[in-house]
Structure 1
């Protein structure tokens, strides 16, 4: 990291010592982390350690607070018995580097500094970010151990591209009032946040908000503080659907709909409805005549349950009359369906 950047960090840390805000300091440290290339971390931490000023010590402690665990791909306890900064492998951050560099420094700073990272999760919410559920919102509410600076972490999770994190922000609790989300299990929501960031790390070139990197360290560390983490939790939206039409074949039809929506049932747009009725069902599904006849009403019922969006219902009206002919067209069958049909 350049001397200019180091000097800037020291000036900003000096202001933060006056503000005495754990939250403001952690968010600053997350932005600082985002600006460091992996091969810059070790030299920057050593420069801070050598400087030894209150500003440098605050910077080290704040960086440790928002980088509380070893990077993905490493094993180890995330800490060090040695106060020296571990050497990083080429292009990576050594596990426990931040924690090792900050060891013992919190006690040399004002008491409010030790509250960084010491939060209690007070609630969680999950639901659609838009009418069609193309993005879901996972929200966690936190408060510091002294009861001050309540805040919420909001993570946008993309649905069409598999469920990766595409945006995140930290807001006051009142921001939650405008989101219209339902309460959820904190451990499940925190697990979804971690799953979404982990998936994003595996996808090269994913389109995400420009500001995501600046919140990412804070978001991941916050989610890891939530007790009872549940990773890879199934979405229970399909199981909560209770408005199945009372017509022959409805249950069979709904089983196919549930298979199609899979683990992203909140995403239900006109385009997805059309894909289901005109492409997926003819290619993949083997249905009785009763189920084919029941499918339009089943899809309408699911659509009402999923937000009752007029554009979705219009798409069903446009595509449903074609379903019997499409299901009968064997040129549309996929390989799996052809094999299954030949075995019958």
Structure 2
């Protein structure tokens, strides 16, 4: 059986199952499997075939790739349109998959999602009513938190249901903090999957914004290493995140503002401001290695602190470590590194260029 015949056979099964969610997930996997140079020929063959199965495939591909701006059709693109005008599409396009340095496939960009939308114009109205529910979802809740002990990855979760209330489902995206906050994996599961995750409820618009920020960052990093399963879920993840109202972009993390355990010591506030600057927009990531980086490398290189700030820093870092989970390994690393801090801060040879310039300006 040819690849096209296989797609048509699978679409025939989906018409019997009448499941918008199953059909969207199938279309997302199909999106991931298409090579960039195969997209237009594949869409053209679907249009020319014209069967119910081919039209369902076009509708499903359009639904899960509905998040990128549509450019005006030109040349061969125009011939793919099944009707007049250009349909709306938002999102990552079909076949977008750069190659990692080791030769494996990653997530990225290729064909324009608008090409799919134009090819699918008019087909939705020719299909059973359940097909029109694809992509038409309501977000019921959102959660965010650590994926592992030290927060080296975080999880962003969003729950959805279709407009008829059926097929509730949960999107979970893993966001790697060590690599800067890019999306590295995603799954669509039953909502009860949330019971196994230790996440905190947050505003849906903020969590959806973090999901979109994470995918956008991954698109900007050539050769970003991600899970092999991510490309086949990516289109649905983007579609769902875009469906959440009141998106916040870029999405902040309020972890540092929730920290209420600052020691009552001279210089403690000054010390915490430097700690907050260091953790930045990835405050849930706090590991022994990050403790060492902060106390023995970043502070001597970047930070100008008063004597009181230097003296208060170990207690501030201990308090933050307890707030971040109180893990024994982290607290032990603080005890190992903190005694070296005064000497390191006093070693002008460790100061970076920015710190040296700031010190020279301050001393004028």
Bin the TM-score by the shorter chain: over 0.9
Question: 1:326 is paired with a residue of what secondary structure?
Answer: helix
Deviation (angstroms), 1:110: 1.8
Alpha-carbon distance between aligned partners in 1 of 2:330 and 2:110, rounded to the nearest angstrom? 47
Residue pairs, 1:170-249, within 5 angstroms: 170-249=188-267
Q: Which of 18, 43, 46 pairs up with 2:44?
A: 46
Number of the residue aligned with 1:306:
324
Q: Which of 125, 138, 151 pairs up with 1:133?
A: 151
**Cα–Cα, structure 1 residues 211 and 339, in superposed 2: closer, same or farther, change >3 Å?**
same
Q: Which of 342, 345, 350 pairs up with 1:324?
A: 342
Alpha-carbon distance between aligned partners in 2 of 1:44 and 1:27, rounded to the nearest angstrom? 19
Number of the residue aligned with 1:16:
14
Aligned 8 A contact 1:76 1:95 in 2? no
Alpha-carbon distance between aligned partners in 2 of 1:133 and 1:76, rounded to the nearest angstrom? 44
Q: Residue by residue, what CA displacement relative to the aligned partner does 1:24-75 show, whole Å, maximum 9, x if unpaired?
A: 010000000011122211111111111111111111111111011326xx65
Number of residue pairs aligned between Structure 1 and Structure 2:
336
Q: Which of 56, 59, 82 pairs up with 1:58?
A: 56
Question: 2:2 is paired with a residue of what secondary structure?
Answer: helix
Deviation (angstroms), 1:84: 5.7
Deviation (angstroms), 1:112: 1.2
Number of the residue aligned with 2:97:
none
Number of the residue aligned with 1:145:
163
Alpha-carbon distance between aligned partners in 1 of 2:144 and 2:157, rounded to the nearest angstrom? 6
Deviation (angstroms), 1:212: 0.4
1:33 is the counterpart of 2:51:
no
Alpha-carbon distance between aligned partners in 1 of 2:113 and 2:164, rounded to the nearest angstrom? 30
Deviation (angstroms), 1:329: 1.1
Alpha-carbon distance between aligned partners in 1 of 2:113 and 2:280, rounded to the nearest angstrom? 36
Q: Which of 57, 68, 71 pairs up with 1:70?
A: 68
Question: 2:179 is paired with a residue of what secondary structure?
Answer: coil
Number of the residue aligned with 1:116:
134
Q: Which of 119, 125, 133 pairs up with 1:107?
A: 125
Deviation (angstroms), 1:339: 1.8
| Structure 1 unmatched runs, 5+ | none
Alpha-carbon distance between aligned partners in 2 of 1:39 and 1:191, rounded to the nearest angstrom? 31
Q: Residue by residue, what CA displacement relative to the aligned partner does 1:204-246 show, whole Å, maximum 9, x if unpaired?
A: 1111000100000111011111111111122111111110001
The 10-residue stretch of structure 1 (332-341 or 184-193) with the greater mean CA deviation from structure 2: 332-341
Q: What is the Cα-based RMSD across aligned positions, in Å?
A: 2.1
Question: 1:96 is paired with a residue of what secondary structure?
Answer: helix
Aligned 8 A contact 1:13 1:59 in 2? yes
TM-score (norm 1): 0.93
Q: Which of 313, 316, 324 pairs up with 1:295?
A: 313
| Structure 2 unmatched runs, 5+ | 87-92, 94-108
**Cα–Cα, structure 1 residues 98 and 330, in superposed 2: closer, same or farther, change >3 Å?**
same
Number of the residue aligned with 1:93:
111
**Cα–Cα, structure 1 residues 242 and 76, in superposed 2: closer, same or farther, change >3 Å?**
farther
Deviation (angstroms), 1:93: 2.3
Q: Which of 123, 143, 157 pairs up with 2:175?
A: 157
Deviation (angstroms), 1:76: 6.4
The 10-residue stretch of structure 1 (177-186 or 37-46) with the greater mean CA deviation from structure 2: 37-46
Deviation (angstroms), 1:303: 0.7
**Cα–Cα, structure 1 residues 84 and 4, in superposed 2: closer, same or farther, change >3 Å?**
farther
Number of the residue aligned with 2:185:
167
Q: Residue by residue, what CA displacement relative to the aligned partner does 1:93-150 show, whole Å, maximum 9, x if unpaired?
A: 2452212222222222222111111100111111111111111111111000110100
